[in-house]
């Protein structure tokens, strides 16, 4: 009876497979790829290789074509396995759908088969592996790009701990570090793959439990391949999320990425060393220039955008200060004019000295403020303004002692140091303020002398 059932199943399965392949060959109009082979033993997804050759690799949508073909191939593996199970069920055997699913992802040549153990494939690893192409590049593909720089041989382990010496000591140490980083990466990669395999296995378990739930009376039976496939996808994603959100995955994922970054970093250092030996510009040199340029642009930009940055605030502060000086000077001059007129009109011996005395403290305070401002401005302008240098000695002669603490411009020097070099336009503006202030000071002096 059992033999009879098996024979019936085989006959049916071969008939279906033959039917499938005939249809496939009609569609692709390329008979011959499977000629001479038993259709029941040929993986159905093999036909996609022909289509990939026919449709892939050209045109604006070639990436999408390739992604569609890859997915259709996976679906067809799934379909073939499930139809085989269904054929068995029709012949009286009790199908094991989970095993059929495993077989679906474990066909020879199926991508998942390379990750798993034998027929029980690793569909999640396959799905992750397939995420590649234009616009997508994962850590695995990035690592493959480094392959020419790395020695994959495990024999490197043997000389890892050999003490480095001689004039090549640094290079040897560097290679040791690179090899250590590479081995660490391989170890972390193995841990990651183990977790993905675990997620795939968990996916099969969840798939089984979802099927079991449908055995209850009143539940809708699955009657199409697509519905069954969708159920499998739900199970796989549920299992993956379970693993991917676990603390263990977080740790392993972090370690894997960090390990790869260490490998890349070591490779970059080696490339830099070679570039330096050949007198070529290096990445870190370019980065350094880029960083300096960026900092400079920030300073300039902040200075030109109201409300941002020290320079703007400083200029605004200086403007206010000069405006206050001008106002004070105007007030002072205005106050002097009637007094001077009175002095001119009155007899010399009747000069009203008490009024002048009364003003003396106010003028003295104003002069002190002006001196203070002019001194600070002149000092800040010194490095970039040759005109200021000609005036500078006079100020220094008058004040040979230690300069007083700056009050009005504490951040200008800091800004210049931060930028690296004084910004010419800014220095010129400071010098302009200094010249204005000096001119005002002279006018005040002249006014004071006239007043006397």
Partner 1 sequence: MQPIKIEPAKALDEALTMQRKLAAGLKTLREVDDVEFGVTEKEAVYREDKLVVYRFKGARRPTAKIPILIVYALVNRPYMVDLQSDRSLVKNLLEQGEDVYLIDWGYPDRADRWLTLDDYINGYIARSVDAVAKNAGVDKINLLGICQGGAFSLCFTAMHPDKVKNLITMVTPVDFHSPDNMLSHWTRNLDADLFVDTLGNVPADLMNWCYLTLKPVRLNQQKYVGLVDILDNKAELENFLRMEKWIFDSPDQAGEAFRQFMKDFYQGNKLVKGGLKIGDRDVRLADITMPVLNIFAEQDHLVPPAASRVLGDHVGTDDYTQLAFKGGHIGIYVSGRAQREVPPAIHSWLAARDD
Q: Which two tokens stand for residue 59?
A: 């045109």
Q: Which two tokens stand for residue 349?
A: 């011996």
Interior/surface letters 410-446, b for 16+ CB within 10 angstroms, e for the rest: eebeebbeebeebbeebbeebbbbbbbbbebbeebee
Least distance CB 238 / partner 1 (angstroms): 10
Among 34, 39, 40, 67, the residue binding partner 1 under the rule CB under 8 A is: 67
Tell me the CA distances in angstroms from 424 to 227, 238, 314, 373, 381, one per residue in order: 72, 63, 16, 21, 10
Residue 128, interface with partner 1 (CB under 8 A)? yes
Among 34, 77, 87, 373, the residue binding partner 1 under the rule CB under 8 A is: 87
Q: How far is CA 47 from the centre of its chain?
A: 41
Tell me the CA distances in angstroms from 36 to 15, 28, 53, 236, one per residue in order: 16, 18, 22, 37
Partners of 150 in beta bridges: none
Tell me the CA distances in angstroms from 435 to 354, 409, 411, 427, one per residue in order: 34, 16, 20, 12
Q: Interface residues for partner 1 in 189-248 (CB under 8 A)?
A: 211-217, 219, 221-226, 228-230, 233, 236-237, 240-241, 244-245
CB burial of residue 406 (10 Å; 0-12, 13-18, 19+): middle
Residue 345, interface with partner 1 (CB under 8 A)? no
| Total binding residues toward partner 1, as defined by CB under 8 A | 102
User: Which range in 60-68, 104-112, 403-411, 429-437 contacts partner 1 by CB under 8 A?
Assistant: 60-68
Q: Of 288 and 327, which CB lies nearer to partner 1 in the complex structure?
A: 288
Least distance CB 265 / partner 1 (angstroms): 5
Residues 6+ apart with CB under 8 A from 30: 50, 54
Q: Of 120 and 229, which CB lies nearer to partner 1 in the complex structure?
A: 229
User: Which range in 249-257, 403-411, 426-434, 443-451 contacts partner 1 by CB under 8 A?
Assistant: 249-257
Residue 414, interface with partner 1 (CB under 8 A)? no
Least distance CB 336 / partner 1 (angstroms): 44
Q: Which two tokens stand for residue 245?
A: 């959100």
Count Cα neighbours of 366 within 13 Å in the Cβ-side half-sphere.
Answer: 25
Least distance CB 141 / partner 1 (angstroms): 8
Q: Of 97 and 433, which CB lies nearer to partner 1 in the complex structure?
A: 97
Tell me the CA distances in angstroms from 410 to 51, 102, 260, 380, 400, one per residue in order: 73, 74, 47, 10, 21
Residue 5, interface with partner 1 (CB under 8 A)? no
**326: enclosing H helix or E strand:** helix 310-345
Among 6, 8, 10, 16, the residue binding partner 1 under the rule CB under 8 A is: 16
DSSP 8-state secondary structure symbol assigned to residue 31: T
Q: Of 226 and 337, which CB lies nearer to partner 1 in the complex structure?
A: 226
Least distance CB 102 / partner 1 (angstroms): 15
Residue 104, interface with partner 1 (CB under 8 A)? no
Among 42, 72, 275, 419, the residue binding partner 1 under the rule CB under 8 A is: 72
Q: Give the span between the Cα atoms of 271 and 266, in whole angstroms.
A: 9
Residue pair 140/125 in contact by the 8 Å Cβ criterion: no
Q: Of 156 and 222, which CB lies nearer to partner 1 in the complex structure?
A: 222
DSSP 8-state secondary structure symbol assigned to residue 111: G
End-to-end distance of the chain based on CA atoms, in angstroms?
136
Among 24, 115, 204, 426, the residue binding partner 1 under the rule CB under 8 A is: 24
Per-residue contact track with partner 1, 26 to 45, x per CB under 8 A?
-xx---------------x-
Residue 142, interface with partner 1 (CB under 8 A)? yes
Among 172, 253, 271, 428, the residue binding partner 1 under the rule CB under 8 A is: 253
CB burial of residue 245 (10 Å; 0-12, 13-18, 19+): exposed
Q: Interface residues for partner 1 in 303-342 (CB under 8 A)?
A: 305, 308
Q: Which of 400, 325, 327 is nearest to 369 (CA)?
A: 325
Residue 123, interface with partner 1 (CB under 8 A)? yes
User: Which range in 54-62, 157-165, 186-194, 426-434 contacts partner 1 by CB under 8 A?
Assistant: 54-62
- Strands, E assignment, 298-442: none
Q: Of 3 and 216, which CB lies nearer to partner 1 in the complex structure?
A: 216
Handedness of CA 306, 307, 309, 311 (dihedral sign): positive
Least distance CB 393 / partner 1 (angstroms): 39
Among 173, 187, 287, 421, the residue binding partner 1 under the rule CB under 8 A is: 287
Q: Of 109 and 145, which CB lies nearer to partner 1 in the complex structure?
A: 145
């Amino acid at each position: 009876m059992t033999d009879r059932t098996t024979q019936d199943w085989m006959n049916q399965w071969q008939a279906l497979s033959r039917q499938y392949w005939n249809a496939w060959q009609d569609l692709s109009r390329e008979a011959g790829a499977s000629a001479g082979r038993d259709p029941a033993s040929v993986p159905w997804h093999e036909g996609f290789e022909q289509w990939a050759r026919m449709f892939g690799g050209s045109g604006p949508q070639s990436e999408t074509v390739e992604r569609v073909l890859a997915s259709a191939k996976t679906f067809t593996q799934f379909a073939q396995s499930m139809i085989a199970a269904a054929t068995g069920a029709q012949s009286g055997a009790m199908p094991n759908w989970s095993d059929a699913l495993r077989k679906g992802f474990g066909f020879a040549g199926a991508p998942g088969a390379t990750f798993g153990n034998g027929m029980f494939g690793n569909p999640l690893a396959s799905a992750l592996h397939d995420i590649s192409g234009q616009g997508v590049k994962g850590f695995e593909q990035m690592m493959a790009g480094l392959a020419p720089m790395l020695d994959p041989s495990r024999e490197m382990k043997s000389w890892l701990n050999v003490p480095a010496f001689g004039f090549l000591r640094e290079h040897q140490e560097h290679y040791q570090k690179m090899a250590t980083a590479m081995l660490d990466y391989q170890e972390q990669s193995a841990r990651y793959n183990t977790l993905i395999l675990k997620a795939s296995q968990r996916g099969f378990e969840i798939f089984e439990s979802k099927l079991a739930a449908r055995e209850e009376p009143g539940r809708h039976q699955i009657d199409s391949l697509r519905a069954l496939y969708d159920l499998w996808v739900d199970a796989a994603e549920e299992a993956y999320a379970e693993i991917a959100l676990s603390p263990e995955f977080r740790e392993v994922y972090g370690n894997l990425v960090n390990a790869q970054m260490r490998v890349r970093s070591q490779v970059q250092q080696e490339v830099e060393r070679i570039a330096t030996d050949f007198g070529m510009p290096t990445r870190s040199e370019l980065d350094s220039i880029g960083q300096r340029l960026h900092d400079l642009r920030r300073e300039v930009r902040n200075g030109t955008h109201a409300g941002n940055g020290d320079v703007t605030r400083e200029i605004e502060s200086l403007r206010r200060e000069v405006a206050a000086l001008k106002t004070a000077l105007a007030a002072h001059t205005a106050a002097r004019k009637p007094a001077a007129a009175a002095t001119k009109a009155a007899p010399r011996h009747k000069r009203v000295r008490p009024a002048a005395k009364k003003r003396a403290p106010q003028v003295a305070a104003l002069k002190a403020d002006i001196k203070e401002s002019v001194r600070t401005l002149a000092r800040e302008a010194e490095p970039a303004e040759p005109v200021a240098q000609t005036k500078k000695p006079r100020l220094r002669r008058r004040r040979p002692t230690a300069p007083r603490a700056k009050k009005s411009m504490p951040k200008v020097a800091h800004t210049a140091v931060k930028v690296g070099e004084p910004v010419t336009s800014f220095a010129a503006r400071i010098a302009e303020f200094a010249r204005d202030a000096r001119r005002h000071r002279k006018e005040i002096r002249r006014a004071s002398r006239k007043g006397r």
